[in-house]
Every structure is written in C-alpha cells, then in structure tokens.
Structure 1
Amino acid sequence: MSASTEKIRNIGIIAHIDAGKTTTSERILFYTGSSHRMGNVDEGTTITDFDEEEAKRGITIYSAAISCQWKDYSINIIDTPGHVDFTAEVERSLRVLDGAVVVFSAMEGVEAQSETVWRQADKYNVPRICFINKMDRIGASFERTFQEIEKRLIAKPVAMQIPIGEGSTSADDSFQGIIDLIKMQALYYDADSKGSQFEAKEIPESYLERAQEWRGKLLESVAELDDEILEQYYETEEIAEADILRLLRIAALKGDLQPTFCGSALNYIGVQPVLDAVGNYLPSPLDRPPVEGINPQPKKRGGKAGESESRGPSVDEPMCGLVFKIQADKHGDLCFMRVYSGQLKSGSRLLNARTGKKELISQLWRVHADSREKVETDCIDAGDIAGVIGPKEAVTGDTLCDIRHPILLESISFPETVISMAVEPESSADRKKLEETLQKLARQDPTFKATPNEETGQTIVSGMGELHLEVLRNRMQKEFNLSIRVHKPRVSYRETVSKAVEKVVEFSRPSAGGNLYFKIKLRLEPFKGDSSVSIISNLKPSELDPAFEKTMLETLKMGLEGGGQVGFPLMNVQFVVIDAQTREGETTDVAVEAAVSEALHGCIMDSQIQLLEPIMKMEVVTPDEFRGNIQADLSARNAAVLNTEWRSDLCVMEVEAPLSQLFGYSTQIRSLSQGRASFSMEPLKYAPAPPSVLKEMIG
C-alpha cells in the first residue's frame, strides 16, 4: 500500500449558513500556501465562492473542491453550502468524503441546518471534528455551544482547547487566544502576519483553574477508552501525550468522540490547530471500510448479476470510482470523481455501471475552486479525488469502473423537490435552446427537475426552495444567454387515497393474428411504508407466466408517471394484483399492457383522492421585541409554534408550517423585525392539504 494514501485526507467543511465555513476555508488555503491572498465574504473576493451569484449574495451555493498540502498531509477539502435550498451539495459531498469539520458559530450555537448536516454525516458514518468559530463576537459562548452540541446533536464532543476571553465587550475579557489542553499552554496569534505567526506562552493565572478543570474532562474521556490507561490515570492523574493522541484518533474514527476546537477564523485565531486535527483525528482512505456494491452484469464463468462486491482502497484492486458532481465547462463537462480502488488513468475507457456503456477518460485535473491544474502523472490513485473531462452520459451518482470487473456502487439519494414554477422562452426560436439548457442544469443538479407541458407550451421546473429556483433562473439568463418568462412558483403537492378501491378489467380484442385476451383484478389502497408507492402481486408463482408478470409490473410502474387524478405524483399508496387470467395463444404483452393500464387508471379515477402538501420545519430567531408580531404572522400562515427557547437575548422558535403559506416570507420577516430576525427551513413531511385546495384544482 502506498504511503501517500495514508496521508490523504478527504474532508468536507459543513455548517449552518453564516457559521463561517467559507472564511475558515479561505484561512486554510492561505496557511497551506495554496493561495497568497485572503478573500473576504463581505467583499465577494473569496476563492471558494467564485460564482457571481455567490459573491453577490455572500453565501455558498455550489460545493467547491480545493486541494492543499499541510505538513506531510495531502488534503482534499470541499466547502459546502449552509443554505437548506442547496442541501444536495452537502449530501453528495458527504457521500464521498472520509471526514468532516463541522463549524459552529459561538453566538448562535447549534442551529437548524447544523442539525441537518450532522444527521447527513450520521447517515454516511462520517467521522468529524468540531470548530466553534466566531469567539470574538458579542454574545459568544464556548460553554453554551459545547453543551448544545452534546444535547441537541446527541454527540460526544471533547474539548481540545478553551478560549482566553469571549466576545469583544472589553479589552480585559475579550477573546484574545486559545489554551491548548494537551500541552497546557496559551497560544496567541499575530494579527500583523494574518495569524501565520503565533506565540506559545504560559496560561494566564486567571484561566489556570478553568484550564485544569477542562483538561480533567479531556483526560477522563480518554481514560475511559482503554482499561490499562484508565488504571494508570487513577494512579497518576496523568496520561502521556502520545497515548492521548492515539486513543482520541481511534475514538474519532469510530465516531465515539468529536475533538472540539475554538477560535475566530475572521481574526486569524485557531485555524492551524484545526488543520493539525484533520491529520491527527480524521481518517485516511485506508481507515475507511471497503466500499460495497453489486455486480451489474452476469459473470462469464458462473455467478450472476446482483451479487455483492467490494473494493478496498488499493491500487492493486480493479478501478472503481463514483461521480459525485458535474460542473458545466466550455471545454466539456467536468466530472468530480472519488476513486475508491485501482488507478484512474487519462486515455482509458471505463464502464458506466448504470447505463452499461463505455465512457472515455480524456483528461485528469486537480481542482482548486475555479482554477485547475492538469495531473502531471496522468494517473490518480485509490483514495483520491480528481476532476475528469470526457464522460458524456455520466450523471451524479454514477459508478465508473473497470470494464472487466464491473461493480455498481450505491448511488446518492436526494430529497424530493418541494416547489416548482413554469418557464417558457421569450420567442419560439429559443424553445430548443431552453430544452438543451434545462437538460444541462438537470445533469449538474440532481434536485432540479424539468417537465414539459405539451398543452401549454410551458415547462415546469422544480427545486428545493425559492432561492434555489431564483439562482437557476439567473443562471439560464446570464450563463446561457436565454431570455425566459417565469411564472409564479407553486407547491409540489402529492396525492394519496383515503380508502381502498378495486377494479376488474377484461381485455378482449380481435387482431390480425387472432384474438387478444388478458384479465386482471387490481386493488388500490392506502399504505404507509418506506416508499411512496408500493406494487405487490398476490399471485402464486404457477398462476402467471413470469414474462407476463414482469410485463404487468413494469406497466404498472410506467403508468404511475402520469400521477393521480389531479396530475401530482402518488404517495403512501399500494397497488395489489389480486387475480390475473390468461388464455393460451391469446395473451400477449400488448394485451397485458392494455388491461393493466386500464385497471390502473380506473382505480385512480374511482378512488377518493386526498391532496398532501409539503410541511416545512422552520427555526425562527428574533429579538424579543418583535416576537409578538412574528408569532401573529405565523399564526395567519397556519403555522404551529412547537417550542420556544432563549439563546442569549434572542428568542428561538421551532415551527412547522405549510410551504404554500411561506412564499415571500423572507421579505415579510425582515419587514416585521426591521431586518433583525432570521429564519431557516427544511422539508419535514407531507400532510393533508385543506379540502378547499383540491376543490379549487378540480374546479
């Protein structure tokens, strides 16, 4: 195994919006020598937020990949968005990363999107370290944020540092530096060198007792990891530094503990220890289990498709990698790819395990946000991440692998879209261009969908929120020079049924070659399960030819694309095939498809449809003086305030509200609070919509 693989770290920087992810990334780039200037979010000059929309809005929209060197570690970093509308960027990044740095604001503590990204990291078993940022701001509290990480995230943070001072209230108790609890020394960072230089001093007398208390907690957490060390700790009340680092690494890799650091990225304090921690506590590709997949093709000598396969992070294994992001480029789309095994070589041909077609790998690039450099060796080893130019049909989540050793890795699952709007070209001449543009956008963004409406000539585009659709609309106009008309956004409803309905269809038609016949009895019923729609057959194996049963079930699946009575996708329903009858020589695929299609649509049209609407989970943060107005407005929007708590002098409300009532809410909340309140939201569930909504749709 190459020594370099041990030194690779593939990490993501994840957090709630405005916690300081991008500023932290900028400092990392500067200290690792990957950039020679420090960008500023407020000025729109950051390296990772290179897109025009990002610079204008001061937020991260697209995950940016950057590669850098720190000491003897090679670090691939992905700076991800914090806004929930762009949660897919976080999802696809965590799918391929080995570790994560979770950034928290010491002012706001654990916020709504902090919980979301933490759950996403849990989903992929990604080990993480915590960085409590913004210790220099008024209202900052290390201890409160630390406790919130424990309670709200049900995590086990272990403090590696504590701050010297907090906030910026007065010179005496303002944030000045950090105390290293392992070496028991105070670190002061030099502002003139932008934090490149720092000085280690003795811990100030006034902080010594507090430092010893927190060090005691650290040592207790470490001692509990090993019986021998625990015994030694009881005797001496000390643990050797090497043992602390070794045991913390083991616990962090398992996800049992999260080493926690503090600082102020904006003021250049505490970033280098986080970089050290990436090497010390986060996994290399060798520390992660082999990636699992299935064989998509029958083996030539025995075996069959669908058998499980695995690939270890070794150059000696067959090549296999996952495409996790596609970025439009004038020279050809750039595919971001994580190589799990073998070697990825330019000029090679790989199998796309999803399509069964071959894809050419023409160029390999090291990506640094909006710049890139060609890989000199024309080869990327297992465990690394690179940009690839060449694949024509690959989409996010596709597996590219050795043609002789096919494997299909688990793809990336994304949340359902919740909002849509109609777009149409300004002129009919642009209709073809609009179609091509939407295809490109959908290939790059898995949470964006476009469906043409032949009757109106419009196209319905769907996404994760108002901001998401606004950004995509601006891209169409600026990036693709497309003039479009945009109509008011609308909610993506779902349909379900309130009671079971059965339909018997007997298809019998004369044809040129003789008679066609097939009879089916189908039931549509309410169903609560993991999938939106379930299809099952109650037929015994001998009752129907397997080929006809396959045709029957495939026809059912295809028939569902048209949606329910009103045209929205069906949800929480089950189709049950109760009975099927054939006649020898008369039952063909055509007869099966016709009967099943008629039965399917008959069940849908005869059922009592219930409309479901998306309910959003919101966190609304406001100064107390505006709480009454904001609560009254939420009540008028049919929102339910589930919980209220205080975070310093701010009121934090946990709210559930129907998405249909939240259009334009960002403008309204600013108006009600003189711009001082904020909110975040994410899709929570689907719930019955008011009967009046369905009545209005049916007319």
Structure 2
Amino acid sequence: MRTDRQPLTTVRNLGILAHVDAGKTTLTERVLYATGAVHKRGEVHDGTTVTDFDAQERDRGITIFAAAVSCTWDAHRLNLIDTPGHVDFADEVERSLRVLDGAVAVFDAVAGVEPQSEAVWRQADRHGVPRIAFVNKMDRAGADLDAAVASLRDRLGTVPLVVQMPVGREDTFTGVVDLIRMQALVWDEGSGPAAHTAGPVPQELRAEARRRRRLLDETVAGLHPEALEEFCAHGSVTEEVLGRALRALTLGGEGVVVLCGSAYRNRGVEPLLDAVVAWLPSPADVPPVRGTRDGAEQERAADPAGPFTALAFKVTATTTGRLTYLRVYAGTLRKGDQVLDAGTGRTERIARILRVQADRHAETEEAVAGDIVAVVGPKAARAGSTLCTPRSPLVLEPPQVAEPVVTVAVEARRSTDTGRLATALARLAEEDPSLVVRTDAETGQTVLSGLGELHLEVAVEKVRRDHGLDVVVGRPRVTYRETLLRGVSGLVYRHVKQDGGSGQFAHVVIDVAPLDAQGGEHVTDERGTGFAFRSTVVGGRVPQEYARAVEAGCRDALAEGPLGGHPVTGVRVTLTDGATHSKDSSELAFRAAGRFALREALRACEMQLLEPVSDVSVTVPEDAVGGVLGDLAARRGRVTGSITQAGTTVITATVPLAELFGYASRLRSRTQGRGTFTARPAAYAPVPRPVAEAALAR
C-alpha cells in the first residue's frame, strides 16, 4: 500500500474516443508500452490487450466496457479510459465523459469521420470536454491526412489545427514532421518505446512543411490575440507563443490540435503523449464542479483540502467483491473513511482504495481531488451516486442514461433457476443503468431492454458465463411510442371520491394538442418525454400548487398510451379551467384528476404509432451496391446518400430499427463477407398503417 499524491497540474484525466475499429484500444496499448506501464505490446487480434480483458471483448475483438488505466509520462500521471466505439455501448462513453477532463479523438486516416466518431464527438461537446485529434492508420492503403482533416472541418464543424505532416505515404509511412519545431521524427521498423530519431526536415518536404506551418500560424492568429499580435508584427508566430495559443484554444474549444501516426506500428505515439501533457487540461484547469445542497447550487473547487466530493460513474462485480469507480472532485479520501451517499442518505465505509490498471489493481492509502480510483466498501452506490463527507453533503448531477430501444424476453430454461436469473439480471442493471429489467404485466415474462441487439446479446452472454445459467431469449422487439395527430378541446373531468371522513374533489378542464401545433416548434422537456404543460386559469379557480399536481398527473398518464400501452410523446396539455372544494380538494386529488383526464382525452384523440429509426452507414464493394440498395428498400430504408472511393461505396440511409435485426448476417451473405455497416439511433418516426396494425396485433 502506498500514497502517490501528485500536484494537480501534473495529472491528466482523459478518454480515448472513436468509431469502432479506428484503433482506440491499440493506441491505448501503445501508450502503456511507450510509458513503460507494460513491457510487451498486446494486440487486439490476439486477445492480449490490457484494456480488452473481458472474455467477450477478446472473442469479439471490440471494446465493450470502458476500462481505466494509469501510467506516467514526463512526470505527469495519465488516468486514461479506453471507451467503446460501438453505438450499442454509447452509455459507457457517456458515463466516462461525465468524469473526464479531456480526450483524444481517434480517426481512421482512410475513412475520416465515421458515424460513431461523430456521435461521440457530439457527446464530448455536450460535456464541454476539450479534445485533440489523432489521425491513425497512416500506413494503410488510401490513407490521406488532408482528407481526414477536411472531414473533421466539414462534418464536425471544428477548426483543425494541424501540427504535423506525414513522412512517407501508406506503406512507406515512417514518421512525421513536427510543424511547430520544424523537425522530422522518424521511427525504425520494430522500434521500442521512444526509439525515434529527431532530425532536420527532409529536403523534398521542406517547401510543403513551410507552407503548412504558415497555414497553422495564420489559423491560430485568426483565433488568438497574442498570436495575432506577433503574426502582424513579424509575419510568423514563435514556438513559445504558438504553444500557449494552442493550449488556450484547446481548453476553450475554439480549435482542435491534429496529430497523425500509426498506433499499430508504434509511430507517432510519443508526440501524442507530449501533446496530451502540453495542451489537454489538468484538474486545476477545469471549472469547479457544481452540485446542489438543500435546494441551493454550490461549487466545489479541485482542492485536496476541501470537503470530500466524488461521483461514482461505474460499478462492477468482481470475484473479489464489488468495485465502485469514483472521480474525486474535491477533498481527500482515506482508507477507513465514512462517506455519505448524498442521494440516498446512506453512510458507507471505504474498506480499500485501488489504483486501476484495467482488471488489475494496486492498493493505495488515499485518493485526492483530481483522482480516478476504484473503492471497495460501498454496497448500495450506483453509477451516478454522489459520495461525499457527511459533514458537508452535496448532490452532483448524475450522467444521463440513454433510453432503451430494443427489448427481449428472458427466462431460465430450468424453473429452479428463476430466482438466480432474477438476481443476475438485477446485478446487470446495477452495473449498466442503460439496461432495464421489468416484468410484462400481460404475459408475466421477464423483459430485458437495452440500446441495441448487440447490447442485449452481450448482456445475456454475461449472465450465461458469469452465473452459469442456461437462458432462453425471445426475438428482439423494438420499443414503440405513441403520439397525437389530432387533439381535443374542453375535456371536463371531475374527480370525486368519498370514503368517509375527508374526501377527494378536483374539477379540471383541459385542452390536449400535438406538441408542435403552435408555430411548428419542437419541445422536449428536461425528462426527454416530449411533453409541455401550461395553465391559463385565472381568478385563482385552480391554485398554482394544484396546477402543478395536475401536471404531475398528466406525466403519470404518459406512461401508457391508448393504442398499445406504449409511452406517449409529443403532447401539449393546457389547463383552462377548474374548481376546488374548501375541504376535500388536495394535491393528491388534483394529481389523480390530471391523470384520469389525460387518459380519457388520449382515448378521444387521433393517435399514431411511432417507431425508432436509425442512421445507417453501409460500406460495400462497388459490385454489390445494387443488391444492398434493394435490400435496404425492402427493409423500408430511405437512402440519403452514397460516396464511392477506391472501389468501395459508402451508402447512408435511414432504416427502422425493427428492420435491422439480423441485418449483419444478411449483408455478409450479399457481399461475400466484404460488407460492413454501422447504425446509430436517430429519432422516432411514424409507422406505416399496415405495419402499425401488425405490430399492435402482436
């Protein structure tokens, strides 16, 4: 056991973000190798990487679970999280981004910005996480740094600040030109950590390097006052001023530094680590974390001497016990401390504090502000729980949880295993909040909902492997929604109940309309339900507290629609009139009135079924395009574009999620195994009448 406290300015908490197969895990492995944290390079295809330690990750060759590792570079500690790239595990990325200070976004030098790399970029935008970009796989046939940079500019709307250019192309790629120091960095074949040579820029590249450096100076000068002043005075920007400007622009999100390399061949990793240290923020650079205490907002700065405050962002059950992963925002946590779960009011004891290296751990005596650690002891904390000192409680905003879109029925093959299955599914939902377990009211079946077919497949396989259960799984079903096509006005509902003693009385009059009925606007409330409520009652006929109770009752009614019991979205309710009773009216009575009134109104409205649709990107050989387009049309897909380059066509389309089940195997058979596709949830769209009738009849 040890303590390894470092100054806040020498800590970097960063994530590796990218589309699946862009090389995140390989880059993480090379970072660990370059920093000396491991002494042998692991490979994804061999199943020997540090961060893809789960058996399913190694079998499938993809990252499924966000894995944390720590290493040291240039006297700085890097707490690094390798995140999944598949859209079905976007919730793992969301929870990781919630606690990270910076990120490295990895892009394929051939494909540029891909659908899921765009999705994780938008997630990072929402969290305000500064990023630098690494264009990977520069040794691949068709690799083009300029095309990849153009896709960053066009598809992500960012300002790329390119600080390197490649030495050699495709299979002759051997290094990079550092445009800031104007020197060439070259790696030998099979080179070890930091085994590169720095020298003058090759003669044949000097003119192009000078052109690119001037372009960098001009771009930075247009964004940063100090750089502009120097550029106007001298026609160029010095290395020192350029470095300060790049850091300021990165932290402010005004530009993104772009580097390049080949993680697989161990080229470009060390300059990337230097860039992380130089330009990504430390915990001291980020704003104080904000939370609520007794309804008032408070801030906590990253001060080891302040009141202990941490956010749990991941929970896992291991063979040695339950691990709760924390980002410590303020204060110091020591082994044996009592901490408060601010959301539940429960006090827990910290038995052990662990530095995490994927599936391996090193015990330490304390964790301070800025640290990312795992702790043993808390039994009830969930992902999103705030752990803090009991003397100064504070509730931090938890990470957003994505709404499930795919459902399967799950049951144990042997009736004697039913209890064990319930326990296993409850543990799954505890570890992954985006998994929802419930019992179907009509069939009595146990239903598991998640973010996609692969997400559920991995969850069920985890039950089978970890708990030794033989599980039967039903065919996946999508989660539908219901919405209004035409509303009703002036619906009157009187809630009167008399059981002896004080009764219940509430009288309400409501108008119900589609949410976009006024001015064509789209409104989604903070809960994401697509619901808006307002009261136009005058004269105090319905007091404000009762109006709020009516709103709460209306929200209750949105859980089940009249078509098939699906959640309702896109509803605007206006409370226009009502009446109270001097003794029998209460918030409870008006909440019940709101619930029953909206249910009755929805039955009178013209309703429509909605289904989830996905943005799909299909990459196929040119000779298979016709068959793939026909198959997409048969799946009710709407093609939105196609791009052909180097004998390969990328087709983009919008396809109902229900039609994508089994598409991977179908695509492989149509393209002799050469086609690939990605899909990410886009929105909910109306279901055609014949399809809706069939869905509601099931």
Q: TM-score, normalised by structure 2?
A: 0.93
| Alignment equivalent of 1:339, drawn from 309, 323, 328 | 328
What is the CA–CA distance in structure 1 between the aligned matches of 2:241 and 2:504, rounded to whole Å? 78
Residue by residue, what CA displacement relative to the aligned partner does 1:485-536 show, whole Å, maximum 9, x if unpaired? 1100011110112121354332334423365533333443211411323344
Residue equivalent to 1:310: 299
Residue equivalent to 1:504: 492
Does the CA-based 8 Å contact 1:189-1:195 persist in structure 2?
no
Residue equivalent to 2:632: 634
Residue equivalent to 2:55: 52
Q: Which amino acid aligns with 2:175?
A: G
- 1:101 positional shift: 0.5
- 1:93 positional shift: 1.0
Query: Is the partner of 1:268 in helix, strand or coil?
Result: coil
| Alignment equivalent of 1:21, drawn from 17, 20, 24 | 24
Does the CA-based 8 Å contact 1:617-1:681 persist in structure 2?
yes
Residue equivalent to 1:614: 612
Deviating more after overlay: 585-594 vs 496-505? 585-594
Deviating more after overlay: 67-76 vs 606-615? 606-615
Question: Which consecutive residues of structure 2, in runs of 5 or more, have no partner in the other structure?
Answer: 516-521
Query: Is the partner of 2:271 in helix, strand or coil?
Result: helix
What is the CA–CA distance in structure 2 between the aligned matches of 1:166 and 1:385, rounded to whole Å? 39
| Alignment equivalent of 1:472, drawn from 459, 469, 472 | 459
- 1:242 positional shift: 2.0
Question: Which consecutive residues of structure 1, in runs of 5 or more, have no partner in the other structure?
Answer: 169-173, 298-304
| Alignment equivalent of 2:139, drawn from 122, 136, 139 | 136
Deviating more after overlay: 51-60 vs 336-345? 336-345
Residue equivalent to 2:519: none
- 1:3 positional shift: 6.4
Deviating more after overlay: 72-81 vs 478-487? 478-487
Q: Which amino acid aligns with 2:394?
A: I
Residue equivalent to 2:470: 483
Deviating more after overlay: 444-453 vs 554-563? 554-563
What is the CA–CA distance in structure 2 between the aligned matches of 1:183 and 1:405, rounded to whole Å? 49
What is the CA–CA distance in structure 1 between the aligned matches of 2:180 and 2:189, rounded to whole Å? 24
Q: Which amino acid aligns with 1:444?
A: E
Deviating more after overlay: 680-689 vs 554-563? 554-563
What is the CA–CA distance in structure 2 between the aligned matches of 1:242 and 1:514, rounded to whole Å? 77
What is the CA–CA distance in structure 2 between the aligned matches of 1:606 and 1:264, rounded to whole Å? 62
What is the CA–CA distance in structure 2 between the aligned matches of 1:201 and 1:579, rounded to whole Å? 80
| Alignment equivalent of 1:494, drawn from 461, 481, 490 | 481
- 1:549 positional shift: 5.0
Number of corresponding residues? 682
Q: Which amino acid aligns with 1:346?
A: K
Query: Is the partner of 1:441 in helix, strand or coil?
Result: helix
- 1:224 positional shift: 3.6
- 1:196 positional shift: 3.6
Residue equivalent to 2:415: 428
Residue by residue, what CA displacement relative to the aligned partner does 1:299-350 show, whole Å, maximum 9, x if unpaired? xxxxxx2x22111111232221211111122343211111111122332233
What is the CA–CA distance in structure 2 between the aligned matches of 1:228 and 1:476, rounded to whole Å? 58
Query: Is the partner of 1:144 in helix, strand or coil?
Result: helix
- 1:683 positional shift: 0.7
| Alignment equivalent of 1:567, drawn from 565, 568, 593 | 565
Residue equivalent to 1:359: 348
Deviating more after overlay: 397-406 vs 363-372? 397-406
Q: Which amino acid aligns with 1:520?
A: V
- 1:674 positional shift: 1.4
Aligned-residue identity in percent: 39
- 1:422 positional shift: 1.0
Does the CA-based 8 Å contact 1:565-1:604 persist in structure 2?
no
What is the CA–CA distance in structure 2 between the aligned matches of 1:194 and 1:365, rounded to whole Å? 30
Deviating more after overlay: 545-554 vs 347-356? 545-554
Query: Is the partner of 1:43 in helix, strand or coil?
Result: coil
Q: Which amino acid aligns with 2:8?
A: T
Does the CA-based 8 Å contact 1:323-1:336 persist in structure 2?
yes
Residue equivalent to 1:401: 388
What is the CA–CA distance in structure 2 between the aligned matches of 1:292 and 1:91, rounded to whole Å? 18
Does the CA-based 8 Å contact 1:566-1:697 persist in structure 2?
no
- 1:420 positional shift: 0.9
Residue equivalent to 1:300: none
Residue by residue, what CA displacement relative to the aligned partner does 1:267-323 show, whole Å, maximum 9, x if unpaired? 11110110111000100011111122222x2xxxxxxx2x22111111232221211
1:513 and 2:501 are equivalent in the alignment: yes
Query: Is the partner of 1:681 in helix, strand or coil?
Result: strand
Does the CA-based 8 Å contact 2:484-2:606 persist in structure 1?
yes
Q: Which amino acid aligns with 1:49?
A: D
1:116 and 2:119 are equivalent in the alignment: yes
Change (3 A) 1:261 1:589: closer
1:529 and 2:523 are equivalent in the alignment: yes
What is the CA–CA distance in structure 1 between the aligned matches of 2:410 and 2:552, rounded to whole Å? 32
Q: Which amino acid aligns with 1:351?
A: L
What is the CA–CA distance in structure 1 between the aligned matches of 2:388 and 2:32, rounded to whole Å? 32
| Alignment equivalent of 1:258, drawn from 250, 256, 268 | 256
What is the CA–CA distance in structure 1 between the aligned matches of 2:261 and 2:404, rounded to whole Å? 37
What is the CA–CA distance in structure 1 between the aligned matches of 2:505 and 2:232, rounded to whole Å? 83
What is the CA–CA distance in structure 2 between the aligned matches of 1:415 and 1:228, rounded to whole Å? 42
Query: Is the partner of 1:469 in helix, strand or coil?
Result: helix
Residue by residue, what CA displacement relative to the aligned partner does 1:98-154 show, whole Å, maximum 9, x if unpaired? 111111111211111111111111111111111111111111111111221122111
Q: Which amino acid aligns with 2:72?
A: Q
Q: Which amino acid aligns with 1:483?
A: D
Does the CA-based 8 Å contact 1:626-1:673 persist in structure 2?
yes
Does the CA-based 8 Å contact 1:518-1:587 persist in structure 2?
yes
Deviating more after overlay: 582-591 vs 337-346? 582-591
| Alignment equivalent of 2:168, drawn from 141, 165, 168 | 165
Q: Which amino acid aligns with 1:136?
A: D
Change (3 A) 1:607 1:180: same
Query: Is the partner of 2:381 in helix, strand or coil?
Result: coil
Residue equivalent to 2:363: 374
Residue by residue, what CA displacement relative to the aligned partner does 1:569-623 show, whole Å, maximum 9, x if unpaired? 1111133333333323334566545544432332233332210011111112222
Residue by residue, what CA displacement relative to the aligned partner does 1:37-95 show, whole Å, maximum 9, x if unpaired? 11100011111000011000110001100011111101100001111111111111111
Does the CA-based 8 Å contact 1:351-1:403 persist in structure 2?
yes
Does the CA-based 8 Å contact 2:190-2:265 persist in structure 1?
no
Does the CA-based 8 Å contact 2:612-2:657 persist in structure 1?
yes
Q: Which amino acid aligns with 1:362?
A: A
Does the CA-based 8 Å contact 1:615-1:657 persist in structure 2?
yes
- 1:649 positional shift: 3.3
Query: Is the partner of 1:183 in helix, strand or coil?
Result: coil
What is the CA–CA distance in structure 2 between the aligned matches of 1:333 and 1:605, rounded to whole Å? 47
Q: TM-score, normalised by structure 1?
A: 0.93
What is the CA–CA distance in structure 2 between the aligned matches of 1:563 and 1:362, rounded to whole Å? 48
Change (3 A) 1:44 1:591: same
Does the CA-based 8 Å contact 1:130-1:261 persist in structure 2?
yes
Does the CA-based 8 Å contact 2:227-2:245 persist in structure 1?
no
Deviating more after overlay: 526-535 vs 36-45? 526-535
1:669 and 2:667 are equivalent in the alignment: yes
Does the CA-based 8 Å contact 2:183-2:200 persist in structure 1?
yes
Query: Is the partner of 2:559 in helix, strand or coil?
Result: helix
What is the CA–CA distance in structure 2 between the aligned matches of 1:251 and 1:547, rounded to whole Å? 48
Does the CA-based 8 Å contact 2:226-2:241 persist in structure 1?
no
